[in-house]
């Protein structure tokens, strides 16, 4: 039988500026991506219903809609779909807000095609499973702590009753880092390497925002965490025992 070429990642570009949509479409298509475009929320949802997408590029300021509201709706409906927000603001608080509420990454206008592609590829590297998973990771496909199970193969967090807890790609990567090495003290820079693009400007508060979001989802009392604990002056540590299969990792 003839071999079948792997499908190219499909990117959905959502912007109400037709010129910007066209330029993003051209840059992504010329770099080997399949591209869908939409000018508003209706077009966004229609495109997602028509075909699966690997990533959404979404402008924060649409003509009659707010991109952040659309992103939050996307996060609820498609919790594992990566979202890169496009914003005209370079304010740090805006970036923190985007990361806290919905986005996996952001681009500040104006940006070059090279910068666009660097961000898209970095987010896809972080969020898409590798073509061939390393064999040593197979026994630890499911990591258990407290009443939670982190499934590395399915990229899913499940509670004791089997129900899934929605995690953004960045939240999953953060929790995966902690649970894979309980007892290790992680600095902010180390966590940024696991959750953020190396091409993106680094700022420590984005890690703190992710920690807060994950704590709210897994901790019985986020104000007094028993899983992700702060090591003052050093960073963070996953303080609970973790098991995979029938063996305890710490």
Q: How far is CA 177 from the centre of its chain?
A: 14
Q: Which CATH architecture has domain 140-248?
A: Orthogonal Bundle (1.10)
* Nearest alpha carbon to residue 249 among 182, 185, 184: 182
DSSP state of 66: B
The tokens describing 151, both together, are 């499934």
**Whole-number pLDDT of residue 133:** 30
Domain boundaries in the chain?
10-127, 140-248
- Compute the chain's Rg from CA coordinates: 19
DSSP element (H, E) containing 217: helix 205-218
Q: How far is CA 29 from the centre of its chain?
A: 23
List per-block mean pLDDT (blocks of 10 residues) for the chain, which spans 250 residues: 57 92 89 91 92 92 80 86 83 60 80 87 76 35 90 86 87 88 87 59 65 94 94 91 59
At residue 38, the 3 state secondary structure works out as strand
Query: In 6-64, which residue ranges form alpha helices assigned H by DSSP?
Result: 18-30, 41-50
CATH class of 10-127: alpha beta
pLDDT, tens digit, 9 for 90 and up, residues 45-68: 999 999 999 999 999 888 777 777
How far is the C-alpha of 101 from the C-alpha of 78, rounded, in Å? Answer: 14
Give the angle subtended at the CA of 230 by the CAs of 200 and 72, to the nearest 5°.
50
pTM of the model: 0.52
How far is the C-alpha of 106 from the C-alpha of 57, rounded, in Å? Answer: 9
At residue 12, the 3 state secondary structure works out as strand
């Amino acid at each position: 039988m003839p071999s079948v070429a792997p499908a190219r990642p499909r990117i959905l570009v959502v912007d109400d500026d037709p010129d910007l949509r066209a330029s993003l479409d051209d840059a992504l298509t010329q770099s080997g991506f399949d591209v869908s475009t939409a000018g508003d929320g209706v077009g966004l949802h229609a495109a997602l219903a028509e075909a699966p997408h690997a990533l959404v590029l979404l402008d924060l300021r649409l003509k009659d809609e707010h991109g952040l509201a659309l992103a939050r709706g996307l996060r609820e409906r498609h919790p594992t779909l990566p979202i890169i927000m496009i914003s005209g603001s370079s304010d740090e608080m805006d970036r923190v807000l985007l990361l806290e509420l919905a986005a996996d990454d952001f681009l500040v206008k104006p940006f070059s095609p090279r910068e666009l592609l660097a961000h898209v590829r970095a987010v896809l590297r972080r969020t898409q499973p590798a073509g061939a998973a390393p064999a040593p990771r197979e026994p630890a496909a499911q990591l258990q702590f407290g009443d939670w199970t982190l499934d590395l193969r399915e990229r899913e967090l499940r509670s004791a009753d089997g129900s899934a807890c929605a995690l953004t790609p960045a939240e999953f990567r953060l929790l995966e880092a902690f649970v894979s090495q309980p007892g290790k003290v992680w600095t902010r820079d180390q966590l940024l390497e696991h959750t953020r693009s190396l091409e993106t400007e680094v700022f420590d508060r984005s890690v703190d925002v992710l920690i807060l979001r994950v704590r709210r989802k897994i901790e019985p009392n986020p104000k007094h965490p028993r899983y992700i604990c702060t090591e003052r002056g050093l960073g963070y540590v996953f303080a609970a025992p973790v098991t995979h299969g029938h063996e305890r990792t710490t």
